[in-house]
Chain A
Amino acid sequence: MKWYIIMRLAGLVPVLLGISAIAFFLVRLVPCDPAEVYLRLSQVPPTPEMVAAVRADLGLDRPLHIQYLDWLHKALQLDFGLSFATREPVLAEIMRCFPATLQLTLASMALVLLISLPAGILAALYKDGVFDQLSRVLAFLGASVPNFWLGFMLMYLFSLKLDLLPVLGRGTAAHLALPAVTLAMSYAATYTRLLRTSMLDSLGSNFVLYTRARGLRERLVLGRHVLKNALLPVVTAFGMSAGHMLAGTVIVENIFAWPGMGMLCVSSIFNRDYPVIQCYALIMALIFVACNLAVDIAYRFLDPRIRLGGGR
């Protein structure tokens, strides 16, 4: 197991280098001179002399590979430069917003589990029953409903009409409710169906037949044998979704004025604050890769078949 983790970590090096290269070259996509944008944002008229001075200051006048290595060197020391708009270190700015985004994502993940675990189990146990049909319809709606619309409809109903929850902002648990539900909806629908399918597979397998032949109580059969196996694919998918959910907060944060990384990213796009956008993309990709790694390791840990049968 230890060997496996070391191998996986070593295998990440090229991926991380690739991610850093993409993040670095993203700024090369900018159709105008970043030095000029920097001057304009500082309210300085961009004369050729000033632009040249800023280019030298930002290191833009050096060969590309030197710039990349220099950027990488600084990035490894967590120095991502200064924001064009606020002149603050980019990382500090992103870290200021990170807790809000993390809170929203974790709350949504908890909601997804709270909804999809019981719903998926019930849908599998009463296959083709009313509940199963209902969950099928909800799953399809969940996968199709635009969450930027769902958010506003929930806001209209619960905040404006019924006046139960606050409309915008962050603060109390009540503020968290609507954004978390909006973000969780499509995932809850997907996971309900995924767990249902996986439960049904598990229910039809020979080891379940054997536990029943042994005369185990139904609760024990379901809890200890069926569910344990059925949860494996859900765990994998869930880890992958964590990265997507973190990214998906962009839209939800903008609906509910939730002061997280998504809000920061969109406002940076409008401000042409390139270092912030670059750092946002890099950090999101790193989190995404870390989630996938965690899932792989957890999967090996949870499933002895892979650990024992699949080599080291």
Chain B
Amino acid sequence: MTVKAVVIKLAGRKLTAACLFVVLALTLGGALAPFLAPNDPNLVDLGKKLSGPGPEFPLGADHLGRCILSRLMHGARISLGTAFLVMFLTIAASIVIGALSGFRGGLLDGLLMRICDMLLAFPSLVLALAIIGMLGPGLFNMMMAMVSVQWAWYARIIRGMVLGLKESGFVLSARISGASGPVIVARHILPNILSQIIVLSTLDMGWVILHISGFSFLGLGIQPPTPEWGAMLNDGRQFLRSNPSLMVYPGLMILMVVTAFNLLGDALRDALDPREIWGENGFGKQTSA
């Protein structure tokens, strides 16, 4: 199925089209936040702290007098940007390892897969916490922890896909015509499994976003004053009684974007693989955040 056909199929359904719109709007809004946001997200003005919605601050101001709307918009940039980056790094690492393992086989395959087994023996949240604990809190360390926890899961799946294609006719022809291993993987195998990898990663985007904001909420990920949704929730917790809106908005943003990604992932799975029915095998990976 071509990309165009998939997009047409997706846009044809109202709910999926809405999800696609939410994801695109937030991505675009986040990317253009410096131009679109009404105020500087980090500008402290204690005189206007906790002020309600008004012409200057459309959604009000937080406990330091910073514009909530601007912080939410910049938050989209950071939350989504980090999630995309984590996903990209995870997929890149697992393609290399999974393809190496599946294509080469032998001792290397055995060794890599045993490492995967060991990593998968840990609940992902615990291992990520432990790695952050050792490296110390912070954005970069959190990203490293998430990638090192996630790659094993993908590498196993990609290895399986590569194994399935390794003996197929077109790979054998490429081999006979003298193509080297990396060329066969990059030019012949990868394009055939890419659509499945994209579906998997879309299904998992919600999971990644939940974990990033979860770690930031615990103070282990993105650090204040950076406007990230999870960190904003943590900032707002002491004002839950007096100003619950400080917590409502960032939470709704996370809920909206994660729902959109989950629905979109399911729709993509249906569009690319009609054998799978909605909800038939759960919700992708374990949602433990």
What is the CA–CA distance of A272 and B119 in the complex, to the nearest angstrom? Answer: 23
Interface of chain B, main secondary structure: helix
For B121, B230, B251, the residue with the greatest tally of chain A CB atoms inside 10 Å of its CB is: B121
Residues B123 and A146 in contact, CB atoms below 8 Å apart: no
Partner of B126, one of A21, A143, A146, A281: A281
Partner of B135, one of A19, A31, A241, A251: A31
Residues B251 and A153 in contact, CB atoms below 8 Å apart: yes
Residues A277 and B214 in contact, CB atoms below 8 Å apart: no
B266's nearest neighbour on chain A, judged by CB, is: A140
A-B pairs with CB below 8 Å: how many? 167
Q: Mark A121-157, 1 if CB is under 8 A from B, else 0.
A: 0000000000000001001110111111110110110
Residues B122 and A152 in contact, CB atoms below 8 Å apart: no
What is the CA–CA distance of A270 and B262 in the complex, to the nearest angstrom? Answer: 33
Tally chain A residues at the interface, Cβ within 8 Å: 61
B255 at the A interface (CB under 8 A): yes
B286 at the A interface (CB under 8 A): yes
List chain A residues, Cβ under 8 A from B254. 146, 149
- Least CB distance, B240 to chain A, in whole angstroms: 6
What is the CA–CA distance of A5 and B263 in the complex, to the nearest angstrom? Answer: 41
List chain A residues, Cβ under 8 A from B131. 26, 29
Residues B240 and A160 in contact, CB atoms below 8 Å apart: yes
- Least CB distance, B221 to chain A, in whole angstroms: 11
Residues B218 and A15 in contact, CB atoms below 8 Å apart: no
B43 at the A interface (CB under 8 A): no
What is the CA–CA distance of A193 and B115 in the complex, to the nearest angstrom? Answer: 33
Residues B240 and A278 in contact, CB atoms below 8 Å apart: no
A1-47 residues with Cβ-Cβ distance < 8 A to B are: 14-15, 18-19, 21-23, 26-27, 29-31
Q: Choose, from B3-11, B82-90, B172-180, B276-284, the stretch at the interface.
A: B276-284
Q: Classify chain B's interface size.
A: 35 or more
Residues B287 and A18 in contact, CB atoms below 8 Å apart: no
Q: Mark A263-276, 1 if CB is under 8 A from B, else 0.
A: 00110111010100
Partner of A144, one of B121, B137, B220, B262: B262
Residues B286 and A19 in contact, CB atoms below 8 Å apart: no
Asked whether A284 and B214 contact (CB < 8 A) given A15-B117, A143-B262, A149-B247, the answer is no
What is the CA–CA distance of A127 and B206 in the complex, to the nearest angstrom? Answer: 27
Residues B240 and A148 in contact, CB atoms below 8 Å apart: no
List chain B residues, Cβ under 8 A from A265. 129, 133
Interface of chain A, main secondary structure: helix
What is the CA–CA distance of A4 and B129 in the complex, to the nearest angstrom? Answer: 34
A289 at the B interface (CB under 8 A): yes
B267 at the A interface (CB under 8 A): no
List chain A residues, Cβ under 8 A from B132. 269
Residues B282 and A248 in contact, CB atoms below 8 Å apart: no
B51 at the A interface (CB under 8 A): no
List chain B residues, Cβ under 8 A from A14. 114
For B240, B250, B263, B286, the residue with the greatest tally of chain A CB atoms inside 10 Å of its CB is: B286
- Least CB distance, B243 to chain A, in whole angstroms: 11
A279's nearest neighbour on chain B, judged by CB, is: B130
B258 at the A interface (CB under 8 A): yes
List chain A residues, Cβ under 8 A from B127. 22, 281, 285
Residues B125 and A250 in contact, CB atoms below 8 Å apart: yes
List chain B residues, Cβ under 8 A from A156. 240-241, 244, 247
List chain B residues, Cβ under 8 A from A150. 251
Asked whether A193 and B259 contact (CB < 8 A) given A148-B233, A280-B130, the answer is no
- Least CB distance, A168 to chain B, in whole angstroms: 11
Residues A247 and B251 in contact, CB atoms below 8 Å apart: no
Partner of B283, one of A190, A241, A277: A190
Residues A186 and B287 in contact, CB atoms below 8 Å apart: yes
A246 at the B interface (CB under 8 A): yes
B57 at the A interface (CB under 8 A): no
What is the CA–CA distance of A136 and B136 in the complex, to the nearest angstrom? Answer: 40
Residues B118 and A15 in contact, CB atoms below 8 Å apart: yes
List chain B residues, Cβ under 8 A from A193. 279, 282-283
A260 at the B interface (CB under 8 A): no
When A and B form their complex, which 4 residue pairs have the shortest distance between CB atoms, in order from nearest? A18-B118, A149-B251, A281-B130, A277-B133
Apart from the given pairs A19-B118, A269-B129, 17 other A-B contacts in the complex at a CB distance below 8 Å: A18-B118, A22-B122, A143-B283, A144-B262, A146-B213, A146-B254, A146-B255, A241-B286, A244-B286, A245-B288, A247-B123, A265-B133, A268-B133, A272-B136, A281-B122, A281-B130, A288-B122
Show the binding face of B for A, using Cβ within 8 Å: 114-115, 117-119, 121-123, 125-127, 129-137, 206, 210, 213-214, 217-220, 230, 233, 237, 240-241, 244, 247-248, 250-251, 254-255, 258-259, 262-263, 279-280, 282-283, 286-289
30 contacts between A and B (CB under 8 A): A23-B130, A26-B134, A29-B135, A139-B279, A140-B259, A140-B262, A141-B255, A143-B262, A144-B206, A149-B233, A149-B251, A152-B240, A160-B241, A190-B282, A197-B280, A244-B286, A244-B288, A247-B123, A266-B218, A268-B133, A269-B132, A269-B133, A270-B137, A272-B136, A274-B134, A277-B134, A278-B130, A280-B130, A281-B130, A288-B126
